[in-house]
Amino acid sequence: MLYLDRNENNYGPAPACFEVLRTSDLTQLSWYDRSFTRGIQGVLSERLASDFGIPEDRVVLGYGAENILKQTVRCYLRPGETLLVPAYSWWYYRKIASEVGGRSVEYPMVQGEDRFSYDLPGLLEVAVREQPSIVFISSPNNPTGNSLDVGDLRSALARLRSSVVVLDEAYVFHTRTDYVRDLVQEYPNLIVVRTFSKYFALAGARIGFALLGSNLGILATHMHRYLGYHRLSEGLALAALDSPGYYKEIAEKMERDKLAYYAELGSIPGWRVFRSDANFVLAEIPAGCGEKLQHYLLEREIAVKFMAEPLLRSHVRITLGTTEENGRVIDAIKAFRP
Ligand SMILES: Cc1ncc(COP(=O)(O)O)c(C=O)c1O
C-alpha cells in the first residue's frame, strides 16, 4: 500500500540517521543522559537553543508536536474557556480542547480560486468577541496548505496580547530560524511548535519541540524533562539537523512535484487543486464521486485522505510521495472515470 494519507515523508530519514542507529552503543541506554548535571535538559534542547538563539530553558521537547500541543492546552485552558482554531484545521485541536472541557470556536479562513488564505480581520473580530485563552494558528495549515506570512502574523500577535498564541509550524518546508527567534523574543505569549516528523522524515521517532515566549514559564516548568530526553531520538534529530543538503533536495523535488499536481489534476474537469506550502495538496473533486474514487485508488493500493469535515466534503488531501509515487498517483487519477 502506498500511504499518502498522513503527511509523512516517504523519502525517509537522512543517511546520517541510519548511521546513528548502526553505531549506537546500546549499553548507554542503561543510564540517563547526564546533561542535567550541566543545568540543561539534554543535547537536543541545547542544540535547538543555539540554532534558534534563545535560552535553553525556553526550549521544550515532546513526544511529537502532538504531545506539546496537548500539554499546552492542559496548561492554559480551564473548563468553559475558549480556544480559537481556524475554520479548516486539524481535528486534533478541537479534541484536546474538549478533553479538558474547553470550547473550540472557529475563526474564518478564505477559500479563493486556487488557494486558501487567513482572514486577519476575521480572526481579530472573533478574538475580540470570544476573549480566548488560547489561539491556534497553523502555518502551513493542515489540510488547506496555506501559510500566514510573518508580517500578518506580527499584526495578529500585536492584537492578541491577552491570549496564549500557539503557532503550529509542523509543516514548515524549511529550517529557517531567524523570524522565529525574533518572534519569541518580541511576543512573550507566543509558543512556536515544530516537529521532526514531516520535513525530517522522522515521524516514527516522535520528536517535537517548541520555543516559548518569556511569559510561558509555567508551561516550561510543566514540560521540562529533568532526567533527559530519549537518547536515541536525540541522536536521530541531531543527525537530521546536520544533514541540511539531503532535506533541501527533497523539498526542491516536492516543490516541483506540486507543480505537476496543480497542472495535471487541475486540468481534469471538475477538479481544483489548491496551492500548498506544505508536503501535501488539497483538491476539490466533483461532488458525489469521492466514494468511487476512494475505492478505485484503494484497489490500486493508493491511500489518500478523503476529508469528512462539514466544509470539505468533496475534498481529498494527497500527501506528496517520492517523484515516482506522485507520478503513479497522477496517472491513476487521470485514468479514473467517475
Ligand atoms: C498541523 C499538525 N500539527 C502537528 C502534527 C503532529 O506532528 P507530530 O508527529 O510531531 O506529533 C500534525 C500531524 O499530522 C499536524 O497535522
Tens-place pLDDT, residues 114-163: 999 999 999 999 999 999 999 999 999 999 999 999 999 999 999 999 99
Give 144 Cα–ligand 1 centroid separation in angstroms.
Answer: 14
Q: Which atom of ligand 1 is nearest to the CA of 141?
A: 1
Q: What is the mean pLDDT of residues 282-300?
A: 96
How confident is the model at residue 225, as a pLDDT? 81
Judge residue 259's burial from the number of C-beta atoms within 10 Å of its C-beta, 0-12 exposed, 13-18 middle, 19 or more buried.
exposed
Give 295 Cα–ligand 1 centroid separation in angstroms.
Answer: 26
Instruction: Let me know how long the chain is.
Output: 338
Q: Which atom of ligand 1 is nearest to the CA of 63?
A: 11
Give the residue, out of 92, 141, 199, 202, with the most ligand 1 atoms within 8 A of its beta carbon, to mutate for a pocket test. 92
Q: Which atom of ligand 1 is nearest to the CA of 168?
A: 3
Distance separating alpha carbons of residues 170 and 229, to the nearest angstrom? 20
Phi/psi of residue 295, each to 5°? -60, -45
Give 311 Cα–ligand 1 centroid separation in angstroms.
Answer: 21
Give 168 Cα–ligand 1 centroid separation in angstroms.
Answer: 8
Whose cell is 492554559? That residue is: 76
Ligand 1 atom 3 nearest Cα: 170
The pTM of this model reads 0.97
pLDDT band at residue 196 using 50, 70 and 90 as cut-offs? very high
Q: Are 247 and 200 in contact (CB under 8 A)?
A: yes
Judge residue 162's burial from the number of C-beta atoms within 10 Å of its C-beta, 0-12 exposed, 13-18 middle, 19 or more buried.
exposed
Handedness of CA 178, 184, 187, 191 (dihedral sign): positive
Q: Is the pLDDT of residue 309 over 90?
A: no
Protein residues whose CB sits closer than 6 Å to any atom of ligand 1: 7, 64-66, 90, 138, 142, 168, 170, 195, 197, 203, 208
Of all residues in the chain, the percent with pLDDT exceeding 90 is: 94
